[in-house]
């Protein structure tokens, strides 16, 4: 239901979680707190004393203010190094005791309202490959590249710490290359690919269940029980709708069906989506794009098969639609070559 979802205006983030991390980083960079909080309506004293709850929109504004002062273009990577496991209570403690990558990613996806409220992570396992890709949760707009860099760095750093060695991730970016790749290479390594039509991290699936040396199975089991007692996690409206459309993608999903799922009217759903900088057709096109890339990449679908799968009259109509969705011709999103 719509009431069960969080939106960009939901005050769901305790002041001592991600907002405190941003305040600390701003202070280290000699950035005044009032400059960091400009446009948020938040007071520094209320945040420092833990008396405020922060919405995703306010957190986005704080990140945008930090990015504007980022002369070295490294703040997203520095934040990412500290973002996970974070200091977010039992969920952070559970991440620290995760026995393997599969459990850590499960926690990340299940508890994204606490761990990554701005971008939604999704795990796709296809044979020998795992694909962790990110989609916008609350209307990131121009900050999307910044958030992608932050979250990819966060997952990479968490895995490196818990596995006690760096994992050979490959990184795919839905953007053109920046002028200077130095920070990407320092924090993510050299296996970078741009113009991929999605933001994803790719890894051999053999890493999913390899035991991590820092795990405490008894502590992990206890913390998982504590998390269950805390109640059901929330998911953003955009992520809930994305998942609904993905489940229905073989048939033509409709706005009316989505509104019924969320126990609201089509007009109300339209208003909420507009507040998040998107609309029903844009989300449907995004899901179709991602599914097209998955089917091409891992299942060998050609354009005729894709046209049939999505209900197009012929491959020509599919090609035109794909070009409209992505601005590019239908092609594979990234290379399957192993990381060096």
Q: In this model, does residue 175 exceed pLDDT 50?
A: yes
Q: How confident is the model at residue 332 (pLDDT cuts 50, 70, 90)?
A: low
Q: What pLDDT sits at residue 333?
A: 57
Report which of residues 5 and 326 the model is more confident about: 5
Compute the average pLDDT of residues 184-200: 93
The yes-or-no verdict on residue 337 having pLDDT over 50 is no
Residue 336 has pLDDT above 80, yes or no: no
Reported as a pLDDT band with limits 50, 70 and 90, residue 250 is confident
Q: What is the dihedral of CA 90, 96, 102, 107, to 10 degrees?
A: 20
Measured in degrees and rounded to the nearest 5, phi and psi for residue 179 equal -65, -35
Characterize the bridge pairing of strands 119-126 and 129-136: antiparallel
**Given this model, what pLDDT does residue 339 score?**
37
Q: Are 289 and 326 in contact (CB under 8 A)?
A: yes
> For 105-115, how does the pLDDT look when each residue is reduced to its tens digit (9 = 90+)?
999 999 999 99
Question: pLDDT tens digit string along 30-42?
Answer: 999 999 999 999 9
- State yes or no: pLDDT of 252 exceeds 50: yes
CA 44, distance to chain mean position in Å, is 28
Dihedral sign for Cα atoms in the order 311, 317, 323, 328? positive
Per-residue pLDDT of 124-155, as tens digits, reads: 999 899 999 999 999 999 999 999 999 999 99
Mean pLDDT of the chain: 92
Residue 126, beta-bridge partner list: 129
Average pLDDT over residues 230-255: 92
Least Cα distance to 48 among 33, 60, 29 occurs for: 33
Enter the pTM of the model: 0.94
Reported as a single tens digit per residue, the pLDDT across 59-104 is 999 999 999 988 778 999 999 999 999 999 999 999 999 999 999 9
């Amino acid at each position: 239901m719509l009431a069960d979802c969080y939106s960009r205006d939901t005050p769901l983030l305790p002041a001592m979680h991600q907002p405190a991390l941003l305040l600390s980083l701003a202070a280290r960079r000699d950035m005044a707190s009032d400059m960091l909080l400009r446009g948020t309506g938040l007071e520094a004293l209320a945040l420092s004393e833990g008396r405020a709850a922060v919405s995703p929109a306010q957190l986005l504004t704080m990140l945008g203010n930090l990015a504007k002062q980022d002369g070295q273009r490294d703040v997203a990577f520095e934040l990412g190094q500290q973002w996970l496991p974070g200091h977010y209570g039992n969920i952070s403690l559970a991440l620290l005791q995760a026995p393997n990558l599969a459990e850590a990613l499960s926690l990340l996806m299940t508890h994204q309202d606490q761990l990554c409220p701005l971008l939604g992570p999704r795990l796709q396992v296809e044979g020998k490959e795992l694909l962790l890709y990110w989609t916008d949760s609350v209307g990131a707009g121009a900050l999307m590249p910044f958030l992608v860099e932050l979250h990819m760095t966060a997952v990479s750093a968490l895995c490196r710490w818990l596995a006690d060695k760096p994992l050979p991730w490959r990184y795919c970016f839905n953007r053109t290359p920046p002028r200077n790749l130095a920070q990407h290479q320092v924090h993510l390594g050299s296996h970078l690919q741009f113009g991929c039509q999605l933001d994803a991290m790719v890894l051999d699936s053999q890493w999913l269940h390899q035991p991590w040396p820092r795990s405490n199975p008894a502590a992990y089991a206890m913390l998982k029980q504590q998390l269950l007692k805390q109640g059901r996690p929330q998911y953003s409206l955009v992520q809930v709708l994305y998942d609904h459309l993905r489940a229905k993608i073989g048939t033509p999903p409709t706005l009316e069906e989505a509104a019924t799922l969320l126990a609201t009217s089509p007009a109300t759903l339209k208003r909420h989506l507009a507040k998040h900088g998107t609309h029903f057709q844009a989300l449907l096109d995004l899901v179709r794009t991602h599914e097209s890339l998955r089917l091409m990449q891992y299942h060998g679908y050609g354009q005729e098969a894709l046209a049939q799968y999505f209900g197009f009259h012929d491959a020509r109509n599919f090609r035109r639609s794909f070009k409209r969705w992505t601005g590019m011709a239908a092609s594979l999103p990234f290379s399957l070559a192993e990381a060096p």
